[in-house]
Amino acid sequence: MDKFGAHKPATDYLYPQIAPFDQRMLEVGDGHKVYVEQSGNPEGQPVVVFHGGPGGGCSPAMRRYFDPAHYRVILFDQRGCGRSTPFASVEANTTWHLIRDIELIRESLTIDQWIVFGGSWGATLALIYAQTHLERVQYMALRGVFMATRKELDWFYGGGAGQFWPDVWDRFRGIIPKSEHHDLISAYHKRLFSGDKPEELRFARAWSAWENALASVRSTGAVGEGGGEYAHAFARLENHYFMNAAFLDYDGQLLDQVDRMADIPGVIVQGRLDMICPPATAYALAKKWKKSDLRLIPEAGHALSEPGISAELVRVMDALRR
Active site members: 120, 274, 302
- Helix (H) or strand (E) holding 139, with range, is strand 137-143
Provide the strand spans (E) within 41-122. 45-50, 71-76, 114-119
For residues 76 and 58, is the Cβ–Cβ distance under 8 A? yes
Q: Are 82 and 57 in contact (CB under 8 A)?
A: yes
- Cβ neighbours for 43, distance < 8 A, ≥ 6 positions apart: 72
Give all strands of the β-sheet with 266-271 in edge-to-edge order.
22-29, 32-40, 71-76, 45-50, 114-119, 137-143, 266-271, 292-297
CA distance 171 to 175: 7
Say whether the peptide bond before residue 54 is cis (omega within 30 degrees of 0).
Answer: yes
- Neighbouring CB atoms inside 10 A of 273's CB total 17
